[in-house]
Amino acid sequence: MATGRGVQTPHDSLTYKVIGCAMAIHRHLGPGQREDTYQRALEARLTESDISYEAQKLLEVHDGSQGNVLVGYYVPDFIVDEQVVVEIKALSGLESSHMAQVIGYLAVSGCPLGLLINFGARSLQWRRIFPPKNVAEHKVNRQWLFVPDWLK
């Protein structure tokens, strides 16, 4: 699983801006809020910072022998500038399953970079996550799949 802070990418300026927004929110609100509180605060901060984003965009997830069967949707918290998937948490710590969630989002969205941000710890936690080389193997993770009633 590729994560990294020391790797330089063409998206560093954008990710630093997003992390800066998250840091400002964490300084203001601290840990202990619900995830949706941080979601709304980050949405407002991104807008104030003139950073383009889509909040909770539905990404189609296909499976089947030819990958042609719609099985549900992934719903990342943000896709920033059509380049960076941003998933936020409000937990005591991050786990590998949260990184796997972002990898699944990267596999389906085609974005070259993900940010996993945790507001729940005493200090803001963040990880940059890169898509795996074998991206097709990570497209369907049913743990993070949203399946609307009409699709069940």
Summarised one tens digit per residue, pLDDT across range 9-66 is 778 899 999 999 999 999 999 999 999 999 999 999 999 999 999 999 999 988 866 6
Burial of residue 8, with CB atoms counted within 10 A of its CB: 0-12 exposed, 13-18 middle, 19 or more buried: exposed
Distance of CA 117 to the CA centre of its chain: 8
Q: Are 135 and 108 in contact (CB under 8 A)?
A: no
Q: What is the mean pLDDT of residues 121-143?
A: 79
What DSSP state is assigned to residue 132? -
Distance CA 148, CA 152 (A): 7
Q: Which one is the CATH code of 12-151: 3.90.320.10, 3.40.50.11540, 3.40.30.10, 3.90.1150.10?
A: 3.90.320.10
Which residues, 6+ apart, have CB-to-CB distance to 20 below 8 Å? none
pLDDT in tens, 97-121: 999 999 999 988 999 999 999 999 9
